[in-house]
A and B are shown apart, each in its own frame.
Chain A
Amino acid sequence: MAVRACRLLSQGLQSPLLLRAVNTATTASPQVSRDRRREVDGASLQSLFALAGGVIPWFAVAAALFAAASMTVGLVFAPTDVQQGEARRIVFVHLPAAWISLLIFFAMALCAVLGLLLGRRMASMLATALAPTGALMGFVALWTGAMWARPVLGSWWGQSGLAFELLLLLLLYFAFIAQQAAATEDPRRADRNGALIVLAGAVNLPIFHFALQWWSTFEQGQLDGLMRLTVSAGSLDLACVLLMVLAACAYSVAAALHRFRSIVLEREKASDWVRHQVGAA
């Protein structure tokens, strides 16, 4: 059922006009240069595959250290908030999760543009590798947001458009992941459809955000004030959140590169170098 819904969605995206635009962008060059490009592409895949294998442990260790430091500050040393009580400590993980989820989405959009315009498989594979981590962060942000809003504002959902924005972001992630899962037999088409979803999202999210800010009837100002970080001498808020942002960045890089390596193995298993690689291992 879900798969069928995704097929429909991906068919809907294949409007002739869009397809023609994308096709001219990706296949306009002559055959020779396309072969050459594929060769270069394969070489860059191979080198990033090797590089990723080397750096993943370092990013993972960095993530663990930053997270441990941030949680020690946030849970053990930070003082109780006058208005929000101990629930304030949830903000220290909520904000980084929400930011990193957005950041990953825009990183995916960048990859998607590169993948579409340059026909580089590596960029599309990176976008695919980033998506589940971004979705996970989006989910964590929604959940922790609810956990914070209940004791502080009195409702799980909060009274702001911010929760709607996070939900929209999460749905965009789901659309991307689901259509990739539905089109496994044709990865290039999945990449193209995925790129269109991410680009549509990257254009719409800022519009949605500013529309909510300008025309919202919710008590946006009050909520923004509560979430805001206290930036002053002796305040631990900012240090705590920044450390967690660093941890989230390092974690996302490690997870995405790990997934990228699996994707390369899945898609390039027919290539000489992958056969060499798995044969040697």
Chain B
Amino acid sequence: MHWASLTDFAEMGGHALYVWGAYLVLFGALAWELVLLLHRRRRALDDARQHALLFGPDPDSAQNVPNR
């Protein structure tokens, strides 16, 4: 362990702004990408479902349902 106390760790030898600023932006950027990824999948799935509803059902189901 390099640090004597938790305050020491937080202060980063007077460079707290830079060190934590770097790590905070890193994790902020990752979180932002995660949100974008999930949002895009949600939209793509909804779109694909809508398309399947509008332009006919799944081709396999036509064979599975008799008298159609």
| A interface list, Cβ under 8 A from B | 71, 75-80, 85-87, 89-90, 93-94, 97, 132-133, 136, 139-140, 143-144, 147-148, 150-151, 251, 255, 258-259, 261-263, 265-266, 269-270, 272, 274-281
Kindly state the separation between the CA atoms of A280 and B60 in the bound complex, as whole angstroms: 11
A87-B15 contact given A132-B36, A258-B41, A269-B51, CB 8 Å threshold: yes
Can you offer 12 A-B residue contacts whose CB atoms are under 8 A?
A76-B1, A78-B2, A79-B2, A133-B33, A136-B30, A143-B26, A261-B41, A262-B40, A265-B44, A278-B45, A278-B48, A279-B61
The secondary-structure label for the interface of chain B is helix
Of A77, A133, A259, A269, most B-chain CB atoms within 10 Å = A269
Which 5 pairs from chain A and chain B are nearest by CB?
A265-B44, A86-B13, A147-B22, A279-B58, A269-B48
A93-B26 contact given A269-B51, A272-B59, CB 8 Å threshold: yes
A residues within 8 A CB of B3? Answer: 76
Task: Report B1 CB to chain A, min CB distance, Å.
Answer: 7
B residues within 8 A CB of A71? Answer: 23
A80-B41 contact given A140-B26, A275-B59, CB 8 Å threshold: no
Contact of B29 among A136, A150, A262, A277 (CB under 8 A): A136
| B interface list, Cβ under 8 A from A | 1-3, 9, 12-15, 18-19, 21-23, 25-26, 29-30, 32-33, 36-37, 40-41, 43-45, 47-49, 51-52, 55, 57-61
B residues within 8 A CB of A281? Answer: 45
Task: Report B42 CB to chain A, min CB distance, Å.
Answer: 9
**B48 & A148 in contact (Cβ 8 Å cutoff):** no
A80-B2 contact given A86-B19, A140-B29, A262-B40, CB 8 Å threshold: yes
**B58 & A77 in contact (Cβ 8 Å cutoff):** no
Contact of B48 among A80, A132, A274 (CB under 8 A): A274
B residues within 8 A CB of A258? Answer: 37, 41
A77-B2 contact given A140-B29, A258-B41, A265-B45, CB 8 Å threshold: yes
Kindly state the separation between the CA atoms of A140 and B22 in the bound complex, as whole angstroms: 8
Q: Please, which residue of chain B has its CB at the minimum distance from the CB of A85?
A: B13
